[in-house]
Amino acid sequence: MKRRHFNRLAPALIAGSWIPTPRDNAGKHHAIRKGAGPIQPGMTVGLITPGSAIREEQLTRAIANVESLGLKSHYTEAVLANYGYLAGTDAIRLQDLKYHLEHPEVDLIWCIRGGYGCSRLLPQVPPELWKMTGKPILGFSDITALHAARWAEVKMPGLHGPVAGMELTEYTRDQLQAILMDTNFPKTIPLAHSPEPPPKDELAPFIIRSGTATGRMVGGNLSLIASLAGTPYAPDLDGALLFLEDVGEKPYRIDRMLTQLRQAFALDRVAGVVLGNFADCEAGPDDRSLSLRETLTNQFGGLGVPVYYGFSFGHVSNLCTFPVGCRATLDTDAATITLHESWY
């Protein structure tokens, strides 16, 4: 635990306004920029909360998760800041993100929680700050915004995987370690198998269109990707292996967001689609609604590319880690994703 650096964040307690920074997209078409190397035991993890606030028990769990991987944790008092539905003002969260990006002893930035708030920071992060460091950012859900910005602006991969404040199952931990520390590639990610059938309100994995597809992995949380339409951080989906998940959205809302993707992001040019577990997204028994399966099949069935639903990622206990921007192959029949290159 290292709290001595909090004085650098003090000005952010007062300067909480959202002030965009002028930028251009000069880095948008650069070749992929990779980090310095894999994460090794003994390295330091910077724990941050760029979105919603956390409870102290989540911080305790995050520290334990870091230590269970043989790593050391580093954080400031900003990690427990609270400002309504945000983990501190924009200025506090931005300052803490910048501090950990620039810190010479921090090798990996692991977000403790998603929630909401990351997208508010994007106009204030200069592209040069992404470029100056190869250290990865790890997390999912709202952290999608940070992954999208780094990839759109400087072609820097991010790690779409568990947040530090969640409990890590054996599958989740094994898959995380395989991406962070294992240097053997190509690497195949299997589906997490459960001995029990899914609850009635959850869909079992199914194939919307069979086949194999290869492309750079781009995506994350559907709500976040849709909200990036018309911004400098909108993903380039041309030839991408698109992966999407969401939680707590009714089918008609999912339909609306997917319609936005089709109209704003040239969805018909993707190489393939990997859908995670859309937890708590089924229509209610009294809703006059299409089912989740009907909605997804309606939106993706006519794309003419392989589409698989129910891969092991999303707001579920068993989730794998995807390196955003790296080449991978989806095999719908085998229910696997093979990574052809590392993020570093």
Q: Smallest Cα–Cα separation from 267: which of 296, 292, 231?
A: 296
* Residue 223 annotated among the catalytic residues of the structure: no
How many Cα atoms within 13 Å fall on the side-chain side of residue 341? 15
* Residue 141 annotated among the catalytic residues of the structure: yes
Compute CA 22 distance to the chain's CA centroid, rounded to the nearest angstrom: 25
User: Which of 74, 119, 245, 282 is the catalytic position?
Assistant: 245
User: Which of 52, 119, 141, 223 is the catalytic position?
Assistant: 141
How many Cα atoms within 13 Å fall on the side-chain side of residue 9? 25
Task: Give, in order, the Cα–Cα distances in Å from 286 to each of 115, 204, 289, 295.
Answer: 29, 22, 9, 17
Confirm if 38 and 70 have CB atoms less than 8 A apart: no
User: Which of 74, 147, 160, 315 is the catalytic position?
Assistant: 315
- 246/280 Cα distance (integer angstroms): 9
* Residue 102 annotated among the catalytic residues of the structure: no
- 214/322 Cα distance (integer angstroms): 14
Active-site positions?
A: 141, 245, 315
